[in-house]
Amino acid sequence: MAKELDSSIQYLAGVGPKRAELLRRELGIETLSDLIHLYPFRYIDRSGITPIAQVAPDLAFVQLQATVVTRTLYGPAGSIVSQETNPIHFGACKRLSVIVEDASGRMEMVFFKGIKWNFQRLVPGATFLFFGKPQAFGTRMNIVHPEVDAPQEGAMSQGALMGVYPSTEKLKAGGITGKVMCKLQSAALSLCLPEVEETLPEYVLRDRGLVSLPYALKNIHFPKDSYALQKATYRLKFEELFFLQLSLLKQKYVRSRGERGLQMPKVGPDFHACYNALPYSLTGAQQRVIKEIRADLTSGHQMNRLLQGDVGSGKTMVAVLSCLMAIGNGFQTCIMAPTEVLAQQHYANIQKYLKPTSVQCALLTGSTTQKERRAIHAALEDGSLGIIVGTHALLEDNVVFRNLGLAVIDEQHRFGVEQRSKLWSKGPLVPPGSGAWAPRAQRSAAIPLEGVQGVKASLDQNVPPHILVMTATPIPRTLAMTLYGDLDVSVIDEMPPGRKPVQTMCIGQNRRAAMYKFMREEIARGRQVFVVFPLIFESEKMDLQNLEQGYEEIVSAFPLPDYKVAIVHGQQSSEEKNFNMSAFVAGRANILVSTTVIEVGVDVPNASVMVIESAQRFGLSQLHQLRGRVGRGAEKSYCILVKDVKTSKEAQQRLDLMCQTEDGFEIAEQDMKMRGPGDLEGTQQSGLPISLNIASLAKDGQLLTEARIYAGQVLDADPTLSAPQNAPLVRELRKEKYEIRDFSRIS
Ligand code: ADP
Ligand code: MG
């Protein structure tokens, strides 16, 4: 079968064991197939020749045709070793300078390596093509290590567009230059192209007007012309995004038909009691989302829903009402938060909402005492506890639900993958409907599930609870489609009325005194202030130092007894953290100095000022999250971004954007454009489910949407992909690359 494609790169002409190891280590390339799937990331137009007089340092790359005038060899301290004299001790030479000229002028070519070889071939009077990146050196222009070709073997003979491949210093040092890489690709392609099998069915190529895979591969490396390159790029990007979406949609399809879900046909009295007692009416978006969730709970299939909503959009309310629906059908629920402080706050809020109901609620965190724990465990197992709020303490094995029907996970990205998957296994044993689900406590007497369609043995023979994941990190649509392609997504895109815009400004260090004055005025009005410091240094110790310095400065500007300043950071014990945080929440402290531990969820309506120190160090979505901590009360709120002198252009762009908009989705889109999706906060821990080779989620959003729609059409026509014409799709989906981690199960 495919012999050449799978053969080791080592046996390719020009590679050998040493370079093979280098390619493996630096680029992960082991086989010829790996090699030909390493595409250029840009192309250089070598069709044109620039006159020397027009060479400027702002030109990216230039190609010159010029004749050698003189060569000079320099020793260690710039001493001239030799100028056209013999014999030459090349070993003593550090640099070769070659002056070349064309009709328009002269310039210098510089070599620090390959001195002997270049000296010997660049003889005065001979003409070459020089190709490279010009730089200004004092008043003169030069090119360091240009590529040198004889005029006839240069530009046109290779095609005008030359690919530039990803490279590293080590690769270059190991002799795998751009030019060598091109040669390797050329050799590999001529061996492999005859073997390359088309991955897309005939009808897809026809429908979408795509070029064949061999044509695309050849032209992505060695474009015949820019039109061919465009066709090749389009084909390869489409293919990648199409298979990605096909894989995700197929999983979703399987689940929506296969995964047996807990039936929750009723709404129940507690829902109504809570709803009717609300001091405000739900926003349109909240109502819509609750309807979507209700539809899921009654569908008979397991819900896997992601709820996106900006900070303060009222997700907690939605979570509570969803829990009450499940409780109305005789199930238990849990709400899991990433930190103890957040769990406490949820617990306090939820209890308020539950007052008009008869539902029992408890809090389980790392600091719950043994005695309380025993009571909670008992109430969970006998079913009397309706809602349990907690941290990852909820995931412990000894937390056994009688009948967990709905699990809500807040701020999903803070949880690790394995932790989240544990929730799946906490559901009841057999779906209700036929009889009752079997309580978890009778697990040892598990009812055999043969014949219960769709329930997989790998799920430990339980029926998974419905899952609602809530995130305040707005994820751009294109990314959501990929990360959560098999999840249903609900969006709360409307803020509760009465939320005032947060006035955001960016200031330099020179306006610190004015800022302190402003803070004093706000405090005099009875308001509170957050001051956040970034984690700057590699070591936690240094970060702490940085924070403590900032704290001392604040304390000396805001001294006792007039002011009280609290400090919270990751190095404190949880009691200490809780103590300080509560002091601020309860209004006993005017200022809270902290690292980003307050980033998520904490609600202090009386806080009206958010000061972010060294704001240029934060990412956009983090800045946005932090800003969301204020503007929650009735007062006008402010966010002050304090930047350091050294603020890069990109950082300044981020800060400017923050001052321009409060729309979390717009910020997320921009963030993705500026930084690329791989770095998006909130996703970097989990990473993208697959690594894309050529398509970009940031840049190819339109194509992604097309690919998703088309993949949906293909599945609609042939849900199991069993039609003979779809055989190539099945074969391709089996490849490791498209084996996407099932995000719905882990989040
Ligand atoms: P999130 O968790 O999405 O950041 P919360 O659920 O904490 O937001 O809600 C933020 C604040 O808005 C809370 O004080 C909550 O009581 C209030 N709130 C929620 N829904 C509404 C609504 N429909 N109208 C008015 N206030 C609301
Ligand atoms: Mg919240």
Whether residue 552 is found in the same domain as residue 652: yes
Whether residue 535 is found in the same domain as residue 461: no
Which of ligand 1's atoms lies nearest the C-alpha of 313? 3
Return the half-sphere exposure (C-beta side, CA atoms, 13 A cut-off) of residue 742: 12
pLDDT at residue 687, as a whole number: 40
Tokens 């029992």 appear where? 360
Long-range contacts at 156-160 (CB < 8 A, ≥ 24 apart) = 156/47, 158/46, 158/182, 158/222, 159/222, 159/223, 159/224, 159/225, 160/45, 160/46, 160/47, 160/225
Does residue 421 belong to any structural domain of this protein?
yes
| Minimal-distance CA residue to ligand 1 atom 9 | 314
pLDDT at residue 658, as a whole number: 94
| Minimal-distance CA residue to ligand 1 atom 16 | 314
- Closest alpha carbon to 241 in 582, 595, 478, 540: 478
Q: Answer yes or no: is pLDDT of 403 > 80.
A: yes
Cα–Cα distance for residue pair 393/397, rounded to 1 Å: 9
Whether residue 529 is found in the same domain as residue 627: yes
Q: Which residues surround ligand 2, an ion (CB under 5 A)?
A: 601
The secondary structure of residue 463, as a DSSP letter, is: P
**pLDDT-based confidence at residue 501 (cuts at 50, 70, 90):** confident
Whether residue 467 is found in the same domain as residue 547: no
DSSP string across 160-224: SEEEE----HHHHHTT--HHHHHHHHHHHHHHHGGGPPP-S-HHHHHHHTPPPHHHHHHHHHS-S
pLDDT at residue 156, as a whole number: 42
Does residue 417 belong to any structural domain of this protein?
yes
pLDDT at residue 675, as a whole number: 64
Cβ of 283 closer than 6 Å to ligand 1, yes or no, is yes
Cβ of 315 closer than 6 Å to ligand 1, yes or no, is yes
| Minimal-distance CA residue to ligand 1 atom 10 | 312
Which of ligand 1's atoms lies nearest the C-alpha of 282? 23
- Map 483-506 to HEC letters: HCCCCEEEEECCCCCCCCCEEEEE
Task: Find the 743 Cα to ligand 2 centroid distance in Å.
Answer: 22
Return the half-sphere exposure (C-beta side, CA atoms, 13 A cut-off) of residue 632: 21
CATH number at residue 438: 3.40.50.300
Q: Which of 239-253, 609-623, 667-681 has the lowest mean pLDDT?
A: 667-681
Cβ of 568 closer than 6 Å to ligand 1, yes or no, is no
Cβ of 311 closer than 6 Å to ligand 1, yes or no, is yes
pLDDT at residue 450, as a whole number: 33
Whether residue 92 is found in the same domain as residue 137: yes
pLDDT at residue 453, as a whole number: 36
Cα–Cα distance for residue pair 697/687, rounded to 1 Å: 13
Whether residue 330 is found in the same domain as residue 422: yes
Cβ of 312 closer than 6 Å to ligand 1, yes or no, is yes
Task: Find the 666 Cα to ligand 1 centroid distance in Å.
Answer: 21
pLDDT at residue 87, as a whole number: 67
Cα–Cα distance for residue pair 527/95, rounded to 1 Å: 66
CATH number at residue 124: 2.40.50.140
Cβ of 205 closer than 6 Å to ligand 1, yes or no, is no
Return the half-sphere exposure (C-beta side, CA atoms, 13 A cut-off) of residue 561: 0
Cβ of 485 closer than 6 Å to ligand 1, yes or no, is no
Q: Which of 91-95, 720-724, 740-744 has the lowest mean pLDDT?
A: 740-744
Q: What is the pLDDT of residues 675-717, one digit of tens each?
A: 655 444 433 333 444 567 888 776 787 898 899 889 999 998 9
Cβ of 282 closer than 6 Å to ligand 1, yes or no, is yes
pLDDT at residue 497, as a whole number: 83
Task: Find the 205 Cα to ligand 1 centroid distance in Å.
Answer: 49
Degrees to nearest 5, angle at CA 562 with 556 and 563: 60
Cβ of 300 closer than 6 Å to ligand 1, yes or no, is no
Degrees to nearest 5, angle at CA 422 with 482 and 309: 45
Does residue 742 belong to any structural domain of this protein?
no
Which of ligand 1's atoms lies nearest the C-alpha of 281? 23
Q: Is the model's pTM score more than 0.85?
A: no
Map residue 577 onto helix, strand or coil.
Answer: helix
Cα–Cα distance for residue pair 156/143, rounded to 1 Å: 21
Burial class (CB in 10 A: 0-12, 13-18, 19+), 17: exposed
| Minimal-distance CA residue to ligand 1 atom 26 | 496
Which of ligand 1's atoms lies nearest the C-alpha of 628? 4
Q: Which of 136, 153, 170 is the last residue of a domain?
A: 153
Contact 261, 726 (CB under 8 A): no
Cβ of 537 closer than 6 Å to ligand 1, yes or no, is no
- The total number of structural domains in the chain stands at 3
Cβ of 314 closer than 6 Å to ligand 1, yes or no, is yes
Task: Find the 312 Cα to ligand 1 centroid distance in Å.
Answer: 5
Conformation bin of residue 312: beta by default, left when phi > 0, alpha when psi is -120 to 50: left
Average model confidence (pLDDT) across the chain: 83
Map residue 100 onto helix, strand or coil.
Answer: strand
Task: Find the 394 Cα to ligand 1 centroid distance in Å.
Answer: 25
- Map 398-435 to HEC letters: CCCCCCEEEEEEECHHHCCHHHHHHHHCCCCCCCECCE
Task: Find the 215 Cα to ligand 2 centroid distance in Å.
Answer: 51
Does residue 480 belong to any structural domain of this protein?
no
| Minimal-distance CA residue to ligand 1 atom 2 | 315
- Closest alpha carbon to 504 in 612, 639, 613: 639
C-alpha distances out from residue 547 to 13, 567, 628, 639, 641, Å: 57, 9, 21, 19, 16
Whether residue 387 is found in the same domain as residue 461: yes
Q: What is the pLDDT of residues 318-335, one digit of tens each?
A: 999 999 999 999 999 999
Q: What is the pLDDT of residues 507-517, one digit of tens each?
A: 999 999 999 99
Q: Which of 134, 153, 172 is the last residue of a domain?
A: 153
Does residue 69 belong to any structural domain of this protein?
yes
| Minimal-distance CA residue to ligand 1 atom 23 | 282
Map residue 244 onto helix, strand or coil.
Answer: helix
Task: Find the 237 Cα to ligand 2 centroid distance in Å.
Answer: 38
Whether residue 512 is found in the same domain as residue 466: no
Cβ of 285 closer than 6 Å to ligand 1, yes or no, is no
Whether residue 549 is found in the same domain as residue 594: yes
**Structural tokens at position 78:** 């710039």
Cβ of 496 closer than 6 Å to ligand 1, yes or no, is yes
Does residue 160 belong to any structural domain of this protein?
no
Return the half-sphere exposure (C-beta side, CA atoms, 13 A cut-off) of residue 243: 27
| Minimal-distance CA residue to ligand 1 atom 25 | 496
**pLDDT-based confidence at residue 341 (cuts at 50, 70, 90):** confident
Task: Find the 315 Cα to ligand 1 centroid distance in Å.
Answer: 7
What counts of helices (H) and strands (E) characterise the chain?
Answer: 25, 23
Cβ of 317 closer than 6 Å to ligand 1, yes or no, is yes
Task: Identify the nearest ligand to the CA of 318 by its number.
Answer: 1
Q: Domain range holding 356?
A: 269-299+313-471
Whether residue 412 is found in the same domain as residue 538: no
Buried b (16+ CB within 10 A) or exposed e, 673-708: eebebeebbbbeebebbbebebbbbbebbebbebbb
Task: Find the 681 Cα to ligand 1 centroid distance in Å.
Answer: 24
Cα–Cα distance for residue pair 212/335, rounded to 1 Å: 51
Cβ of 313 closer than 6 Å to ligand 1, yes or no, is yes
Whether residue 467 is found in the same domain as residue 532: no
Q: Answer yes or no: is pLDDT of 356 > 70.
A: yes
Tokens 């197929």 appear where? 250
**Structural tokens at position 672:** 């993705």
Q: What is the pLDDT of residues 35-83, one digit of tens each?
A: 999 998 888 777 788 899 988 877 678 889 999 999 998 887 777 776 5
- Closest alpha carbon to 334 in 415, 407, 395, 414: 407
Cα–Cα distance for residue pair 661/656, rounded to 1 Å: 9
Which of ligand 1's atoms lies nearest the C-alpha of 318? 6
| Minimal-distance CA residue to ligand 1 atom 17 | 314
Whether residue 550 is found in the same domain as residue 442: no
Question: Phi first, then psi: what are they for 701, rounded to 5°?
Answer: -55, -45
Cα–Cα distance for residue pair 176/183, rounded to 1 Å: 10
Tokens 């222009």 appear where? 141
- Closest alpha carbon to 34 in 66, 6, 75, 1: 6
Q: What is the pLDDT of residues 127-182, one digit of tens each?
A: 998 988 888 877 778 999 888 877 765 444 456 788 888 877 788 888 888 888 99
Which residues have a Cβ under 8 Å from the Cβ of 138 and sit 6 or more positions away?
none
Task: Find the 316 Cα to ligand 2 centroid distance in Å.
Answer: 6
Does residue 209 belong to any structural domain of this protein?
no
**Structural tokens at position 235:** 């084909």
The secondary structure of residue 461, as a DSSP letter, is: T
Q: Ligand 1 pocket test: which of 283, 290, 316, 409 has the largest number of ligand atoms within 8 Å of its C-beta?
A: 316
Strand ranges (E), 276-339: 304-309, 332-336
What torsion do the CA atoms of 611, 411, 418, 408 make, to the nearest 10 degrees?
A: 160
pLDDT at residue 432, as a whole number: 44
Burial class (CB in 10 A: 0-12, 13-18, 19+), 486: buried
Task: Find the 484 Cα to ligand 1 centroid distance in Å.
Answer: 25
pLDDT at residue 113, as a whole number: 84
Residue type at 296 in one-letter notation: D
Which residues have a Cβ under 8 Å from the Cβ of 232 and sit 6 or more positions away?
211, 215, 216, 217, 218, 219, 220, 223
Cα–Cα distance for residue pair 422/406, rounded to 1 Å: 13
The secondary structure of residue 566, as a DSSP letter, is: E
Q: Which of 138, 153, 168 is the last residue of a domain?
A: 153
Map residue 471 onto helix, strand or coil.
Answer: strand
Does residue 30 belong to any structural domain of this protein?
no
Question: Phi first, then psi: what are they for 603, rounded to 5°?
Answer: -115, 110
Contact 594, 532 (CB under 8 A): yes
Q: Ligand 1 pocket test: which of 286, 290, 317 has the largest number of ligand atoms within 8 Å of its C-beta?
A: 317
Q: Which residue has better confidence, 392 or 284?
A: 284
Which residues have a Cβ under 8 Å from the Cβ of 160 and sit 6 or more positions away?
45, 46, 47, 225
Ordered strands of the 607-612 beta sheet: 502-507, 637-642, 607-612, 528-532, 591-594, 565-568
Task: Find the 497 Cα to ligand 1 centroid distance in Å.
Answer: 10
- State the Rg of the chain over Cα: 32
The secondary structure of residue 396, as a DSSP letter, is: S
| Minimal-distance CA residue to ligand 1 atom 21 | 496
Burial class (CB in 10 A: 0-12, 13-18, 19+), 491: buried
